[in-house]
Structure 1
Amino acid sequence: MNRQRRKYLIYFIVCLLLTIAITPRLLTLIGFPKQFQIIQGHQQLLNINFPFDVYIRTHHNKKITINGQEVDRDYFKVNLGQPLAIKSMALGKVNLEFNLFGIIPIRKAVVNVIPQVKVYPGGQSIGVILKSKGVVVVKESYVLGADNKKYYPAKMAGIEVGDKIVAINSQEVKGKESLAKLINYYGSRQKELKIKIKREGNVIYKEIKPKKNKFGRYMIGLYIDDGTTGVGTLSFYDPYSKRYGALGHMITDPNSRSRITISEGKIVQAKISGIHQGSSGIPGEKLGTFFNNQDIIGRIEKNSRFGIYGRLTGSLNNRFFPEPIPVATALQVKEGPAKIYTVVHGGEIEEFDVRIERVFKQYQPKEKGLIIKITDYDLLKRTGGIIQGMSGSPIVQNGRLVGAVTHVFIDDSARGYGVLAEWMVKTAGVVKTHMARRLGN
């Protein structure tokens, strides 16, 4: 009998240890978040789909309810096989502890309670003008000397296409003109150049002696670029802080494919003069016109993986939205019909039907948050689907801003990716601004 009891006890201990070891990993696999956001005063359903009873408690004094019951320092039981209805009236962070059988800690989760943020959806076509910090090498060249011979100072020094030149002899390179002046200045004084370069995330140095060309100017034999321009779409703007977000994706250097670090940048009003239709395998594009120093509507302060951000300096309007609308959290976005807003001709914003085919479960910021399909016959007829220049077009569902269009599927131009609006407004600093306003800071 004792032997039988020992046997059962060993089985129990082994099962208990396996449960302790496996459960946290299993919860991660099924999408049990370590942290997530809910809106103050709004009930949010969280689906875990873990068919076990667990016990929950918190050490915070901030009031938060789950399934209508207030969470405090004492454990209470819930079944994770059913959705958890979570609500809090207090702003800030709440730490929750989840225990299995009331004795095995399996997860700690942070609930970020944020104010309801309301913004104006965009849809306006914008010209994007970026000037980078430093210059990027786009092509090797040569210096034609006074003797009509070709010289290759940069190539001989080991400078490569894609390198970013950020300084010469400890002086910052601010652009193409800045680089040319520094090269000529030190070359005319017979001084070597110690060039600071960023290459694939690493900083390296190269030494070059400039060569005088046949016109008497010192050069090193490179084609360079110091920025980029293009057409995109504004995603949203905050009426209080004037902060905006656009594009929904990072602007990269077309040659090195690396992120452009901004020296200065601006967005201007753009007009769409034509469309190159997209088709399977070939993305289409908007043909836009804008002027560098006219109709400036904002400054660019940040170029991130979720788009470009800054502050508006001019006024905007969208006839479809006379008032700002709520921004959806990641948990509020659902599969189903939605609308996008974009310009296809001239400067007029139009509304088109889409379907959100898939929402990726995200509790941390990630670029690809959803998949959409254009279902509007008129838009498909005019553009062939999602095209370049449409990036940033706001996606609205059930009266909420849920995301922005980012990329087209190369093999199916009617479908593409979108980024969740929650991450965009957070990156823009809008959530922080609204939190400070609500707390009176």
Structure 2
Amino acid sequence: MNPNVKRLFGLALVIMVCFCCTTAPFRTYAALPNQLRLFEGQQKQLALVMPVHAQATVDRPDILQVNGHDRPSLRLSPQQPISLQSKQSGQAKLRLKIFGGIPFKTLKVNVVPDLRVIPGGQTIGVKVKSAGILVVGHHLVRVGVDKKTSPGEDAGVQLGDLIVSMDGTRLNDVTKVSDIVRRAGENKKPIDLIIRRGQTEVKTKLNPAYDDEDKTWRLGLYIRDSAAGVGTLTFYAPDQGVYGALGHVITDMDTQTPIVVGQGEIVQSNVTSISKSQNGEPGEKRAHFLKESRVLGNIERNTPFGIFGKMKANPEHSLYKEAIPVAFNEEVQEGPAEMLTVVNGQQIERYKIEIVHVTRQSSAATKGMVIRVTDPRLLQKTGGIVQGMSGSPIIQNGKLIGAVTHVFVNDPSSGYGCFIEWMLQDAGIVLTPSKSTQGKAS
């Protein structure tokens, strides 16, 4: 073939490919994922219109229907929208072919059991005791006229360590410590310590020192066994009897170490005032625990996505009496949404926000979206997001999509939110197909 003809042919082919890439069918095809997740009974319109006559084949029509038909194979007409309807939990494959047999697209569809939860928004009081004694500082003990020492530091105990045992006694209360230290000091014996340091268990021996000033035996450590504060309830799942709140981990205020929960509870709380946020200075909710307030639930876990535990009933003042659907991460869109929170007393209110950025996450990670408060009422009352709003549920298109987690210090009208999927996962609710149908798809 003449070289000039070959070049012209190649150029024409490149132009044709480039033209095809700009067409609407190609762009929608490229944007369509290879996998899709649906809840039972959910209908999904695919952003894909076949340019020619095509054939759709489903290997599990008992799980997935196409355009309202439960047949395993269906002919699609040009420009006909493709609608999927999930029937039951399980996995199915949708294969699209054009021109009678040329593979065009294969889509794996995971259908999970329907899940609905009740959005929160209530301000809650949080009381938590650590699963041991938390070390928050070293203390120098005067053991002579000109001599001071810290037995804890000498024994290699570090800030943020969790002392779980002393001389074989499991610790869950600081009141147990003084007697153990006194006995060891009087008997001139070191104390055997078992320490949890991150994910590692450390053993060491500590020799108490006698404080000449206070006339008592000391560890040379500042220790703490509990923490308290306020936050916001995100959701209550009535079918599972669990809740999620805060949207971020609880850390010790001195060491910034995540608190390992031994026991804890959430209670009713009342917002008394608001310290408004300003650029460079986040505000906060001022609230107090109600006297003789009833316990709403226990605290079983403290994770990067908040606190989780058991709850028996939907708390008072809820805006929702019935559960609503939740959204998968991939359903969250940039655009308008609303958050539920309390700024006075116990009354939950809806406030308009804008989701300005969504990070597509395939595994659990914080900071899934950037949000901005647009509601003039909230901006007037609080200046935007304040401390204590963390955990405030975010609603979009009638679904619970996530929770407020952090405020931008230099722009308090904006902050981060996490996806509800990761909070549900840490609450023990896993969004996967049921085992009865999970392994049957070919």
- Provide TM-score, normalisation by structure 1: 0.78
Distance in 1 (CA, whole Å) between partners of 2:193 and 2:71 is: 60
Equivalence map 1:11-410=2 (5 Å): 36-45=36-45, 62-65=62-65, 85-91=83-89, 93-94=90-91, 96=93, 109=108, 111-115=110-114, 117-145=115-143, 149-214=147-212, 215-290=214-289, 294-313=293-312, 316-318=315-317, 320-410=319-409
Aligned positions, number: 404
Structure 1 residues 72-114: Cα deviation after superposition (integer angstroms, max 9, x where no partner)? 6x999999xx9974432011x3154879999999988561422
Instruction: Show the counterpart of 2:11.
Output: none
Q: CA deviation at 1:129?
A: 0.9
Q: CA deviation at 1:424?
A: 2.4
Q: CA deviation at 1:188?
A: 3.1
- For the structure 1 residues 252 and 77, does the alpha-carbon distance in structure 2 shift closer, same or farther, using more than 3 Å as the test? farther
Distance in 1 (CA, whole Å) between partners of 2:257 and 2:41 is: 42
Instruction: Show the counterpart of 1:24.
Output: none
- For the structure 1 residues 326 and 335, does the alpha-carbon distance in structure 2 shift closer, same or farther, using more than 3 Å as the test? same
Distance in 2 (CA, whole Å) between partners of 1:99 and 1:188 is: 81
Instruction: Show the counterpart of 2:439.
Output: none
Q: CA deviation at 1:41?
A: 1.6
- For the structure 1 residues 395 and 434, does the alpha-carbon distance in structure 2 shift closer, same or farther, using more than 3 Å as the test? farther
Maintained 8 Å contact 2:122/2:318: no
- For the structure 1 residues 87 and 434, does the alpha-carbon distance in structure 2 shift closer, same or farther, using more than 3 Å as the test? closer
Question: What SS does the aligned partner of 1:388 have?
Answer: coil
Q: Any gaps of 5 or more consecutive residues in structure 2?
A: 2-29, 436-442
Question: What SS does the aligned partner of 1:328 have?
Answer: coil
- The structure number with the bigger radius of gyration is 2
Maintained 8 Å contact 1:88/1:113: no
Structure 1 residues 38-92: Cα deviation after superposition (integer angstroms, max 9, x where no partner)? 111212246699x9xx9997765743245667696x999999xx9974432011x
Structure 1 residues 104-153: Cα deviation after superposition (integer angstroms, max 9, x where no partner)? 999885614221x2222111110111111122221110223486853321
Q: Any gaps of 5 or more consecutive residues in structure 1?
A: 2-29, 437-441
Question: What SS does the aligned partner of 1:180 have?
Answer: helix
Instruction: Show the counterpart of 1:26.
Output: none
Distance in 1 (CA, whole Å) between partners of 2:259 and 2:227 is: 9
- For the structure 1 residues 146 and 32, does the alpha-carbon distance in structure 2 shift closer, same or farther, using more than 3 Å as the test? farther
Aligned CA-pair RMSD: 4.0
Instruction: Show the counterpart of 2:438.
Output: none
**Letter of the 2:423 counterpart:** M
- Provide TM-score, normalisation by structure 2: 0.77
Maintained 8 Å contact 2:236/2:314: no
Instruction: Show the counterpart of 2:21.
Output: none
Question: What SS does the aligned partner of 1:318 have?
Answer: coil
Instruction: Show the counterpart of 1:15.
Output: none
Distance in 2 (CA, whole Å) between partners of 1:213 and 1:392 is: 45
Instruction: Show the counterpart of 1:20.
Output: none
**Letter of the 2:392 counterpart:** S
Maintained 8 Å contact 1:100/1:106: yes
**Letter of the 2:360 counterpart:** K
Q: CA deviation at 1:369?
A: 2.5
